[in-house]
Amino acid sequence: MTLADDHTMMQTDRRSTSLWRDALRRLGRNKAAVVSAIFLLLLIFVAVFAPIVAPYSPYETDFSQVRTLPSTEHWLGTDELGRDILSRLIYGARVSLFVGVTVQSMATFVGIILGLVAGYYAGMTDIVIMRAVDIMYAFPNFLFAVFMVSLLEPSVGSVILTLSLASWPFVARLVRGQVLSLKNQEYVMAAKVVGTPDRAIMRRHILPNAFSPIIVQFTLGIAGVIMAEAALSFLGIGIRPPNPTWGGMISKGREFFRTAPHLAIYPSIVLGLTMIAFNFLGDGLRDALDPRMKK
């Protein structure tokens, strides 16, 4: 009898891990996704260890070397104040990733809770939450960000707040859709019948099964947030200089397009590659986590 118990336990165990292992294996076969993941891991490493990795301080000016081309001393040259471009790109990665991950985490947290509650309880709760989502959807996303930022004092905090406010409705709508399709499944009914509390049902039975699209949305969402942060900084209404941001560097570099295009080109390349990597990875994750999607 214990043998039988062990057996069923082993079976469920194997099943639950193999879902993720299968997904990982499928992801591993997707070359673009693997290369993207490696690139992003490298970027995260560089951002986290910026003080060790960066050859110079991102703020240190050197007026004897202004807008120099790449050299052995400054690998990517120097900017309009003689600051090392590579070092500023590395610290800029810190800002971009920090904002991207923080915003998307907050948006996902809020979105999961509101989406779960709306989908599970339906009725008035659902109506109120989803009408709020609808109103947010009425704003083209970046328009909302520009509008909110204009009302707040420019800082990292207000950019994070603004972009989080702009991002949660996507997650909420996604999660609600998942809940609606899951809550009438037999195993959820069974859990209800045996008297499992609502919160436990949501946490243990519904949420884990809604995880795949949330992960995909999280990955793609980070790309969207990094892009929006860069765009705000580029327009001069986001994180202020002298903070090193990719968007700010491109914006400043535009003034020297004719004489020193590398000031704008390098941050554009890094930002472009980061966007592409997140999108390829997100796309790969979608295919890997939901094999039915793939034709």
Partner 1 sequence: MQRYIVQRLIFIVFSLIGATFLAFAASRLAPGDPLRMMVADRNLDPAVVAAWEQRYGLDKPIPVQYLYYVKNALQGDLGTSYHYIGTPVTEILGPAMLVTLRWESVGLALAVILALILGTISAIKQNTWVDTVTMTVALAGISLPDFALATFLIVGFSLKLGWFPVAGFETPLHYVLPVITLAVGPTALLSRMVRSSMLEVIRQDYMMTARSKGLSERAIIVYHGLRNAFLPILTIVGILVGRILSGSFIVETIFNIPGIGRVGVTAVLQRDYPVILGATIILASAFLITTFVIDLLYGALDPRIRVSD
Residue closer to partner 1 by CB (options 207, 226) is 226
**291 lines the binding site for partner 1 (CB under 8 A):** no
Six-digit token pair at 31? 């070359």
Cα angle 169, 203, 292; round to 5: 70
Site for partner 1 in 184-243 (CB under 8 A): 223, 227, 230-231, 234-237
Pair 229, 99: CB distance under 8 Å:
yes
**292 lines the binding site for partner 1 (CB under 8 A):** no
Let me know if 34 is exposed, middle or buried by CB neighbors in 10 A (0-12, 13-18, 19+): middle
**276 lines the binding site for partner 1 (CB under 8 A):** yes
- What is the contact mask toward partner 1 in residues 87 to 106, using x (rule: CB under 8 A)? --------------------
Pair 74, 84: CB distance under 8 Å:
yes
The Cα 266–Cα 21 span in angstroms is: 37
Shortest distance (Å) from residue 212 CB to partner 1: 19
Going by C-alpha positions, the residue among 55, 47, 123, 62 that lies closest to residue 86 is 55
**110 lines the binding site for partner 1 (CB under 8 A):** no
Among positions 14, 28, 254, 291, the unique one binding partner 1 when judged by CB under 8 A: 254
**271 lines the binding site for partner 1 (CB under 8 A):** yes
Among positions 105, 125, 155, 279, the unique one binding partner 1 when judged by CB under 8 A: 279
Residue closer to partner 1 by CB (options 41, 269) is 269
Shortest distance (Å) from residue 132 CB to partner 1: 8
The Cα 236–Cα 231 span in angstroms is: 9
The Cα 187–Cα 124 span in angstroms is: 26
Pair 279, 217: CB distance under 8 Å:
no
# of chain residues touching partner 1 (CB under 8 A): 47
Let me know if 143 is exposed, middle or buried by CB neighbors in 10 A (0-12, 13-18, 19+): exposed
Q: Which stretch binds partner 1 (CB under 8 A): 52-60, 74-82, 197-205, 276-284?
A: 276-284
Residue closer to partner 1 by CB (options 209, 243) is 243
Residue closer to partner 1 by CB (options 37, 230) is 230
Residue closer to partner 1 by CB (options 48, 154) is 154
Amino acid of residue 13: D
Shortest distance (Å) from residue 188 CB to partner 1: 29
Going by C-alpha positions, the residue among 21, 27, 95, 20 that lies closest to residue 280 is 27
Residue closer to partner 1 by CB (options 49, 137) is 137
Q: Which stretch binds partner 1 (CB under 8 A): 16-24, 66-74, 148-156, 174-182?
A: 148-156
**152 lines the binding site for partner 1 (CB under 8 A):** yes
**155 lines the binding site for partner 1 (CB under 8 A):** no
Q: What is the DSSP string of 67-122?
A: SPPP-SSSTT-B-TTS-BHHHHHHHHHHHHHHHHHHHHHHHHHHHHHHHHHHHHH-
Residues at the contact surface with partner 1, assessed by CB under 8 A: 32, 131, 134-135, 137-143, 146-153, 223, 227, 230-231, 234-237, 247, 250, 253-254, 257-258, 261, 264-265, 268-269, 271-272, 275-276, 278-280, 283, 295
